[in-house]
Structure 1
């Protein structure tokens, strides 16, 4: 497989994932009924599955280099992003708590992007 093709697929899925997350977070905070549409509930799972599969393929292509601290940092941050993201979209009890969780989740996402671009766990602070 072509590394650059998989990398571009991964980056595209990441961009779609965050844009769709921000839209759904906004709908969650404002109580918009569009959040309950079937396509809105299914699309994030498809996008995130593509994102994760591309990440796995890239890790396999990197081989032992995939065990570097920056890759492990991205994995840990991804778990945090998912956890906070569920609060922003579903589990937050109030619009304010969902909004705060959404802001934190976007911050985590931006940190992950920094880790990916710098290949350093310090992200933008490297």
Structure 2
């Protein structure tokens, strides 16, 4: 399966960016008063993209050797994914006021960029690695 690593990695990167873009777009329009971001077809698209993202991530996890993750960056990234999901749920559905929706939305975007940064740097500090090393 290692021979498919480059293709799986590129697909994972593509759907990760697609997932983040879709969340940012849905959140921005929802905060602007639009109702379509909560429509069933849009949610199904979001679920499909996130399922593809998780599938590619699990495939990469099974392909790569364990030493690749020795510095803990993957554990931090996965932990932040859970935080991102919770913040996203509150931003799109659970928060009651527009102000709290905005707060959760901005926090979710910040966590998404932290996840991206960690993935790019392969270090738990992400892009902050260059400042603190």
TM range (shorter): over 0.9
Instruction: Find the structure with the greater CA-based Rg.
Output: 2
1:95 maps to what in 2?
98
**Residue 89 of structure 2 is aligned to residue 76 of structure 1:** no
Extract unaligned runs of 5+ from structure 2: none
1:18 maps to what in 2?
20
| d(CA) in 1 for partners of 2:108, 2:120 | 18
For these two proteins, the number of residue pairs brought into alignment is 126
State the SS of the aligned residue for 1:31: coil
The Cα shift of 1:31 comes to 2.4
Contact 1:14–1:51 at 8 Å: present in 2 too? yes
1:109 maps to what in 2?
112
Contact 1:29–1:96 at 8 Å: present in 2 too? no
CA displacement 1:73-92 (0-9 Å, x = unmatched): 11100000000010111011
The Cα shift of 1:19 comes to 0.8
| d(CA) in 2 for partners of 1:17, 1:53 | 13
Give the number of the structure with larger relative contact order, counting CA–CA contacts within 8 Å between residues 6 or more apart: 1
CA RMSD of aligned residues (A): 1.2
Extract unaligned runs of 5+ from structure 1: none
